[in-house]
Structure formats: structure tokens, C-alpha cells
A and B are shown apart, each in its own frame.
Chain A
Amino acid sequence: NAGVMQNPRHLVRRRGQEARLRCSPMKGHSHVYWYRQLPEEGLKFMVYLQKENIIDESGMPKERFSAEFPKEGPSILRIQQVVRGDSAAYFCASSPPSGPNSYEQYFGPGTRLTVT
């Protein structure tokens, strides 16, 4: 049973370009969370998605950031017109559907975004 997969592991973008980060949850998991770790800072929640639904996006910056989790395929975190301040590690986590184990979260290896 493969774990949470993220790609790419490292992404370099110039200011103004778009960044697309992908997350494939563990098999059987229908909940996906995105977290951001800025340099020298702690982890912060960004968005929580279930298949085809955004449940909680209270941690997403108001502009340039969007997330989706389609019926088929991975979850995508999209950052438009990247700026240097977007440079960070972006982690995805997944959890099973509601039930006693739904508080468990399994993390992917992260995508390290560098904006030059």
C-alpha cells in the first residue's frame, strides 16, 4: 500500500510563473490536507478537501492560490504568478473517510518550491 505521494519533490519557478503541486492520497483515503512550511517557520494549515469539495480553505491566501481534488486523479495545489515569498515546503496529508481512524493523518514527502 503506497503512502501519500507528492510530485514534484523540488520545483523551481521564476517570479510570475505558475506552480502546480500534486498529491495522491493513500489508497482508500478520501480526505486531503495541504500545509505550508515557510523557511524558519512552523507548519500552517492551508486547505482541507474531500473528493470534488473544498471543506475548509481558511488558511489559503486570498489571491493566487487555489486547490482542487477531482473525482479522478490527484489533488492539485495551484499557485499563480508566484512571488519569492511563496518559496516554502508544501506538504500534503491524507486521512481515511469519517470513522474512528479519521483523525489519523499520513504525510507525503513534500514539495520544495523555490521562486527565483
Chain B
Amino acid sequence: KNEVEQSPQNLTAQEGEFITINCSYSVGISALHWLQQHPGGGIVSLFMLSSGKKKHGRLIATINIQEKHSSLHITASHPRDSAVYICAAISRGSNYKLTFGKGTLLTVNP
């Protein structure tokens, strides 16, 4: 079992819909990242969380340390949000290295 699990693997939405991507992890963590990758493209860090909630534009990330769970929400989704979203955790005592989920492929149709 992967230390970091994401769901769903694939997600198709209509423009304007509210999107939720979930991430659960099985170990104690120091921090959790949400990353975005466009096909064939680079990786952009969206959020780094160790507690609570962060918001940037239409993107919101939350984390519940007790439940070992994080969510990424996209409000008013747009076709340009189509990308792979990756959850990555820094396990406690892991020398800061990231352990990645397998990613969620989001497709937003106009």
C-alpha cells in the first residue's frame, strides 16, 4: 500500500463545477504539498500545508492531521484547470523528501 493515496484517479467535470480531490496518508507527516502538472509539462507547487486551510484564488486546500486526510478544492472550474494534481507528503523524520500520490487527472470540459 502506497503511503500516500489519492482519489479519484480520473475526474471529468463541466466548466463551472466545484471540484474536490482527496488525499490520505498513512504515516505521521511534517507537511503536505499539492502540486499541479500539465501534460508533458513542469510541476508547480500550489500549496504547502501543515495544518488548517489555505486559499489562493479559486483553489482551497485543507488538511486534517488527526484523520490523516487532505483535500484540494477548485471552485468555478475552468478548462485551463485541466491537469494532473498530485498530493505529496513529507513524512516525519524523512529528511524532507517528498512521497507522492499517483495523481488525479482532471479534465474540465467547456
Contact = CB atoms under 8 A, between A and B. Distances in A.
A104 B43 contact: no
B96 A48 contact: yes
Interface of B: 30-31, 33, 35, 41-45, 48, 50, 86, 88, 90, 95-103
Contacts of B42: 91, 107-110
Given A91-B43, A108-B42, A110-B42, A103 B30 contact: yes
A43 B95 contact: no
Contacts of A59: 97
A33 interface: yes
Given A103-B31, A103-B50, A31 B86 contact: no
Contact of A45 (B43, B86, B99): B99
A41 B103 CA distance: 9
Main secondary structure on A side of the interface with B: strand
Interface string A95-112: 100000011111111100
Nearest first, the 7 A-B pairs at minimum CB distance are A103-B31, A109-B42, A107-B43, A56-B95, A43-B100, A45-B97, A42-B102
B45 A107 contact: yes
B78 to A, nearest CB: 23
The interface centre, meaning the residue of A44, A95, A105, A107 with most chain B CB atoms within 10 A of its CB, is A105
B8 to A, nearest CB: 15
A45 B4 CA distance: 13
Contacts of B33: 105
The interface centre, meaning the residue of B48, B90, B95 with most chain A CB atoms within 10 A of its CB, is B95
Contacts of A91: 42-43
B67 to A, nearest CB: 20
A48 B97 CA distance: 7
Given A103-B31, A103-B90, A44 B45 contact: no
22 contacts: A31-B96, A33-B98, A43-B43, A43-B98, A43-B100, A44-B100, A45-B98, A48-B95, A48-B97, A56-B97, A59-B97, A91-B43, A103-B30, A103-B48, A103-B96, A104-B48, A105-B33, A105-B96, A105-B98, A107-B35, A107-B44, A107-B45
